[in-house]
Structure 1
C-alpha cells in the first residue's frame, strides 16, 4: 500500500508541476525527480534496442544461432528492466525525503500562494490555465489503474482456481497522447511505459509449486491466511492504444481550440512487456507463532508478455480491461492466460 501511495504521489506532483513555472521550490524539485524517472526509462530502452539490434546483426553474420540470440535477448531485457527498477528506487527515495519535509516550509508556502492550482475537467490545472487556448499536439499523462485479476483456463474464467475478490492488479506509468489530425480532435495515438503488477490468490489453501518444469497448485501443507498468501508477477510494459476522444472542440476567434480528456473517451490497443520478477508470499500460524515466507524464482513464467487492452470512460476516469494473449506459464499442458478488469485514471 505504501508503494501505491508513493506512485500516486509521483503522478500527482508531475501533473501539477507540468503547468507551473517557478523557482526551485518544493514543486520544482518534485518535477525534476519525475523528469529523472522518465530519463532513466528512455535511456534503458535505447540501450536495450541497441543490444537487440547487435544480436540480430550477429545472427545475420552467422556468429550465433537464432536460439542463442533469443536466449540473450531475454537475459538482457530482464537486466534492463532490473536496472530501471533499481535506478527508479533511488528517485523514489528522493521523492520520499522531499515529501517528508526536506524542503523549507516557508519557501513552499510562498510558492503555493503564488502558484495555486485547481481541478479542471478532472485534472489538476494551474489557476492561470487558459480554457480558450489549444493544448499542444502531444500531451502527457500520469496513469494509474487497479482492479480485479484472474486466469482464463481453457478459454473460460468461470470456476476459477483463484479468488475473484482477492486476486487483483495495479498498474502505473506515463503515457503520451498525440492528436493525429490538424483539424479534428477525434483520433489520438496513446503510447507510453509503465509497470504492471498481477496478483493471484489461490483457493482451497493451495500454493504454486514447480513440479517437473510445470507450475501447478498443491496443498500448502499448513493452514495459510488466504488474504495474505498470493502469487505476484511484475512486468515492465509498453502500451499503445488508438484513442477516440469525443471532447468538444470550441471555436474562439474563428480558430478551433482542441482539448483532450474533457469528454467521453474510448481506447483500443495492446501492450508488450518483459517479466521483471515473480514471487510467492505465504503467511500462516503454527504452534502460536506467525510465519511469513517469500519465495522468489522463475516459476516457469514466460519471460515476455503481450496482449490486448481497451478502456472506455469520461474525462480522466475509465473502465479498463486487459487480456494476455500468451499463457502465464511456459510448459503447462493447459494454457492459462491473465485477464484483468478495473478502473483506470489518466491525469493530464
Structure 2
C-alpha cells in the first residue's frame, strides 16, 4: 500500500512539473514575441525619419542648382516631385515588409497560448501618411509639391515726371514751352503674365489715365483760333499758363528680366525683384483738356480754369518703355499722334520720369 501511494505521488509531481514547465515556456515565448513586435514598430519610425532626411537633402541640392541657374523653376519642381515619389515608395515597401513580419508574430503568439489561453493583446495597426513637403532653405518655409507659381498677377502702377511737347524743326532752347514747369502724371491698373518656364519673359497689360501738362512761357497762353490752337500774349502779367491734356489709354509691354521662385505659407510665387527692361506701346482716347491761368490784375492775384476742346487729337497712340530694378523704374513715353490735330506744324508729347509698381 505504501508503495502504491509513493508511486501515485511521484506520478502527480511529474505531471505538475510538466505543466509548470509548459506555462513557463509559453510566457517566455509570448514575451519574446511582444518584444520583437515592439522593436519592429520602432523600426518603422526610424525608416520614415531616414527617408525624410534623405528627401530634404535632395531638395536642398535641387534648390542650389535652381539658384545657380543650372535648371529652371519648372525643371526643379519635376525633380522634387520625382524625389518625393521615390522616397514614398521606399517607405511604403519597407513598411509592408515590417507589417508582414508583425502579422506573422501575432499568429505565432496565438498558437503559443493554445486553445484555452487568452489571446495576445491585439497590436494597434500602424498607419502613417507621409506628407511630402517642398523645402526652401533660403526662406525656411515649406510647401506641398502640388503648388506651382501663379503665372498672372495684378498691380497698381503710378508714374510721374517731366513733360514736353516737341515741335517739328524747333529746338528745345527755342521752344515756347517751359521744360521744368511742364509735368505729367499717370495712374493705372494692370496685369502681368509669365510667358516662359524661367519667368524671364512677361507680358504686361492694363489701362491707365494720363495727365500731360505743357506750360507756356513769355507771358503767353493757349487760344483756339478756328481749327487751330495757337499761343497769344496775355493782357495781364501771367504767373502760369498751363494746358493739361487727359487721356485714357491701354498700355502693353513685353518685360524682360530675371525671376526666381519663392514660397510663402500659402503659395509659390515668382520673385521679380531684379533688374528688368520693358518695351511696348499704348493706345486710347482723349478725355478732354483744361487750361489753368494764374495772373495778377490790379494788384489782385487771380486764378482761372478754361475747359475747351483746344483741337486736341482724339485718338492717342505711342511708344513707351522702362528700365529699373524691382518696383522702381525709369520711364519714358512718346505720342506718335500729334498734339493738335489741325495745326500746320506737328507737335508730339514726350514724357520722362519714374514709374512705380504698388
Range class of TM-score, shorter chain: 0.5 to 0.7
Counterpart pick for 2:191 among 165, 176, 184: 176
Counterpart pick for 1:244 among 253, 256, 259: 256
Uncovered stretches (5+) of structure 2, i.e. residues with no partner: 1-138
Q: Aligned residue for 1:56?
A: none
| 1:207 maps onto 2:221 in alignment | yes
Q: CA deviation at 1:129?
A: 12
Q: Aligned residue for 1:294?
A: 305
| 1:236-315 equivalences in 2 (<5 Å) | 236-249=248-261, 259-315=270-326
SS in 2 for 1:166: coil
- Tell me if the contact between 1:248 and 1:263 (Cα under 8 Å) persists in the aligned partners: no
* Alignment RMSD: 2.4
Distance in 2, matches of 1:129 and 1:239, equals 38
- Tell me if the contact between 1:185 and 1:258 (Cα under 8 Å) persists in the aligned partners: no
| 1:230 maps onto 2:242 in alignment | yes
Q: CA deviation at 1:184?
A: 1.7
| 1:22-37 equivalences in 2 (<5 Å) | none
Q: CA deviation at 1:322?
A: 0.1
SS in 2 for 1:284: strand
1:263–1:209 Cα change, 3 Å: same
Q: CA deviation at 1:321?
A: 0.4
Report Cα offsets for 1:307-328 as digits up to 9, x if no partner. 0000000000000000000101
- Tell me if the contact between 1:134 and 1:259 (Cα under 8 Å) persists in the aligned partners: no
TM-score (norm 2): 0.56
Q: Aligned residue for 1:197?
A: 211
- Tell me if the contact between 2:273 and 2:326 (Cα under 8 Å) persists in the aligned partners: yes
SS in 2 for 1:294: strand
1:221–1:164 Cα change, 3 Å: same
Q: CA deviation at 1:247?
A: 3.0
User: Rg larger in 1 or in 2?
Assistant: 2
Distance in 2, matches of 1:129 and 1:210, equals 65
Distance in 1, matches of 2:140 and 2:336, equals 42
Q: CA deviation at 1:130?
A: 6.8
Distance in 2, matches of 1:158 and 1:129, equals 55
Distance in 2, matches of 1:308 and 1:187, equals 19
Q: Aligned residue for 2:351?
A: 340
Moved more, 291-300 or 334-343: 291-300
Q: CA deviation at 1:135?
A: 3.9
1:346–1:156 Cα change, 3 Å: farther
Distance in 2, matches of 1:169 and 1:131, equals 45
SS in 2 for 1:225: strand
Report Cα offsets for 1:30-60 as digits up to 9, x if no partner. xxxxxxxxxxxxxxxxxxxxxxxxxxxxxxx
Distance in 1, matches of 2:292 and 2:169, equals 27
Counterpart pick for 1:165 among 172, 177, 180: 180
Q: Aligned residue for 2:337?
A: 326
SS in 2 for 1:165: coil
- Tell me if the contact between 2:260 and 2:272 (Cα under 8 Å) persists in the aligned partners: no
Uncovered stretches (5+) of structure 1, i.e. residues with no partner: 1-127
Distance in 2, matches of 1:301 and 1:209, equals 12
1:173–1:251 Cα change, 3 Å: closer
1:130–1:138 Cα change, 3 Å: farther
| 1:72-111 equivalences in 2 (<5 Å) | none
Report Cα offsets for 1:208-262 as digits up to 9, x if no partner. 1111311011111210113xx310001111100011122345699xxxx652431
Q: CA deviation at 1:155?
A: 6.0
Q: CA deviation at 1:202?
A: 0.7
Q: Aligned residue for 1:146?
A: 160
SS in 1 for 2:238: coil
